[in-house]
Amino acid sequence: MFFIVGFSNRDEFIKEVNFKCTNCLNEKFELYQVANVLTFFFIPLFKFNKKALIVCKNCKSIYKVKSESLKKILDSSIVTYDDIEEIVRNNNVCPNCGYMIDKNDKFCPNCGNKL
């Protein structure tokens, strides 16, 4: 007799929220809750290490939200800089059109905006 016990990462879309992206100035974000899930024969048993992330819809930058701010965000759908624990990923994008750019680019390859 053997058991199949595993761990998986689950992303759960919660809702759309407002936050001003420090990267591209977009204000439309999606709030996700990510949890490590202990599985038993591929059936999720329980979740732990829950954390909340917001993802910029424009440049896909990811910010980690403080757990104590989560309830307020769920109520108001508004995230402020005080609610951010850390920047998980900050993509380089053109501030004009949101196109992904390289750090060394002088001009946006998509719209020609000077960077």
Q: Which of 35, 61 has the CB closer to Zn ion?
A: 61
Q: Which of 75, 86 has the CB closer to Zn ion?
A: 86
**Contact yes or no for 82/68 (Cβ under 8 A):** no
Shortest separation between residue 72's beta carbon and Zn ion, angstroms: 22
**Residues of this chain that bind Zn ion (CB under 5 A):** 21, 23-24, 26, 56, 58-59, 61, 94, 96-97, 99, 108, 110-111, 113
**Contact yes or no for 32/55 (Cβ under 8 A):** yes
**Contact yes or no for 79/56 (Cβ under 8 A):** no
> Following DSSP, what letter does each residue of 54-81 receive, concatenated?
EEETTT--EEEEPGGGHHHHHHH-B--G
Q: Which of 35, 54 has the CB closer to Zn ion?
A: 54
Shortest separation between residue 107's beta carbon and Zn ion, angstroms: 8
Shortest separation between residue 89's beta carbon and Zn ion, angstroms: 10
Shortest separation between residue 101's beta carbon and Zn ion, angstroms: 7
**Is the Cα torsion angle 18, 21, 24, 29 positive or negative in sign?**
negative
Q: Which of 85, 99 has the CB closer to Zn ion?
A: 99
